[in-house]
């Protein structure tokens, strides 16, 4: 067994959190998998895995070695595919906001996997722009202004947004009919990890964008909590329209100031520069480009 095989085995053990499950996935004897990991640990002179009776977890050194293994195995598989014309295969980790993943990505997955049945997609949920290399993410799907980073960015459209509040909030504070009527109102603040500040409400007026910062009853860092706070009547919020359209139709939330809509949020896929030509990354990016995201412009 060469070192490349040892890397593949170690990576699968980390992902499966089990020697036995990794052996099953790879079609190997459990003893072969155990021996490969022990050989790697002996050669590197460090413990890579913490073993308990219930599960296996990587140590800090194991996490670092796992990321190196992923890069080397993926690069080798991609290089072979480019020369041999082999089918796209291997793991791709895609990170996206949970609500967007459930509403748009999961329904479109059958088409991707039908085109590339050997693709192994891992879908993780997050709202901040992760450190792709450090956290083992291949592609991050995010909304908002272009991130100031050394990542490549593929635009996927813009998501329209809506300003909403619960009927209970409006009964207590009144319904604003114009921007000047916002005086005296409150908002649920959304704290941006990108800007390290609370985002103001913004409205597209005929000749300019007007930003309004209202007193906050609550500050949150997650979209799902922001929605629940709005439903609970805690203040005015601005959210992607696809997330609140059902609530608006059901009367759970009321759209405010539709003649002054919020600025649409750009939607884009971010990926590392050195993974630009990977066939599996390119396949997922092309699939993302073909998805009809709701309320995009």
Enumerate the domain spans of the chain: 3-83, 87-158+266-290, 161-262
Q: Is the pLDDT reported for residue 286 higher than 70?
A: yes
Predicted local confidence at residue 297, as pLDDT: 57
Q: Largest Cα–Cα distance in the chain?
A: 72
Taking the C-alpha atoms of residue 39 and residue 286, their distance in angstroms, rounded to an integer, is 40
For residues 85-93, average pLDDT: 75
93-135 tens-digit pLDDT: 899 988 889 989 999 999 999 999 988 888 888 766 555 655 6
pTM for the whole structure:
0.68
pLDDT band at 151 (very low <50, low <70, confident <90, very high): confident
The CATH classification number of 87-158+266-290 equals: 3.40.190.10
Tokens of 69: 């293994």
Q: Is the pLDDT reported for residue 139 higher than 80?
A: yes
For residues 275-295, average pLDDT: 81
Q: Is the pLDDT reported for residue 276 higher than 50?
A: no
Burial annotation 200-211 (CB, 10 A radius, 16+ → b, else e) = ebbbeeeeeeee
Cα 109 to Cα 112, 199, 258, 284: the distances in Å are: 5, 33, 34, 10
The CATH classification number of 161-262 equals: 3.40.190.10
Specify the 3-state DSSP secondary structure of 256. Answer: strand
171-225 tens-digit pLDDT: 999 999 999 999 999 999 999 877 788 999 999 998 899 999 999 989 998 888 9
Share of the chain above pLDDT 70, in %: 90
Which CATH code of 1.20.210.10, 1.10.3720.10, 1.10.10.10, 1.10.150.120 fits the domain covering 3-83?
Answer: 1.10.10.10
Strands 187-192 and 216-220: parallel
Domains 3-83 and 161-262 share a fold: no
Q: Quickly list DSSP for 177-232.
A: -SGGGGTT--EEEEEETTTTEEPPEEEE-SSSEEEE-PPEEEEES-HHHHHHHHHT
């Amino acid at each position: 067994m060469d070192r490349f095989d040892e890397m593949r085995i170690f990576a699968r053990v980390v992902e499966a959190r089990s020697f036995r499950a990794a052996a099953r996935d790879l079609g190997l004897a459990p003893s072969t998998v155990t021996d490969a990991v022990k050989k790697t640990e002996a050669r590197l002179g460090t413990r890579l895995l913490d073993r308990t009776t219930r599960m296996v977890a990587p140590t800090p050194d194991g996490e670092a070695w796992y990321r190196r293994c992923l890069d080397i195995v993926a690069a080798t598989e991609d290089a072979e595919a480019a020369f041999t014309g082999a089918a796209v295969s291997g793991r791709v980790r895609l990170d996206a906001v949970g609500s967007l993943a459930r509403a748009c990505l999961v329904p479109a997955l059958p088409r991707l996997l039908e085109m590339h049945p050997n693709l192994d997609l891992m879908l993780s949920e997050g709202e901040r722009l992760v450190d792709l290399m450090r956290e083992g993410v291949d592609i991050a799907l995010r909304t908002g202004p272009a991130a100031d980073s050394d990542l490549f960015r593929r635009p996927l459209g813009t998501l329209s947004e809506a300003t909403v509040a619960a009927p209970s909030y409006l009964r207590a504070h009144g319904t604003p009919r114009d921007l000047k009527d916002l005086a005296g109102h409150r908002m649920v603040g959304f704290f941006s990890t990108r800007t390290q500040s609370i985002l103001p409400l913004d409205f597209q007026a005929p000749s300019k964008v007007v930003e309004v910062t209202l007193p906050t009853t609550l500050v949150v860092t997650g979209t799902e909590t922001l929605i629940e706070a709005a439903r609970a009547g805690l203040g005015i919020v601005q959210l992607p329209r696809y997330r609140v359209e059902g609530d608006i139709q059901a009367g759970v939330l009321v759209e405010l100031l539709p003649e002054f809509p919020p600025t649409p949020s750009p939607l884009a896929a971010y990926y590392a520069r050195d993974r630009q030509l990977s066939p599996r990354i390119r396949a997922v990016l092309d699939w993302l480009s073909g998805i009809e995201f709701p309320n995009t412009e």
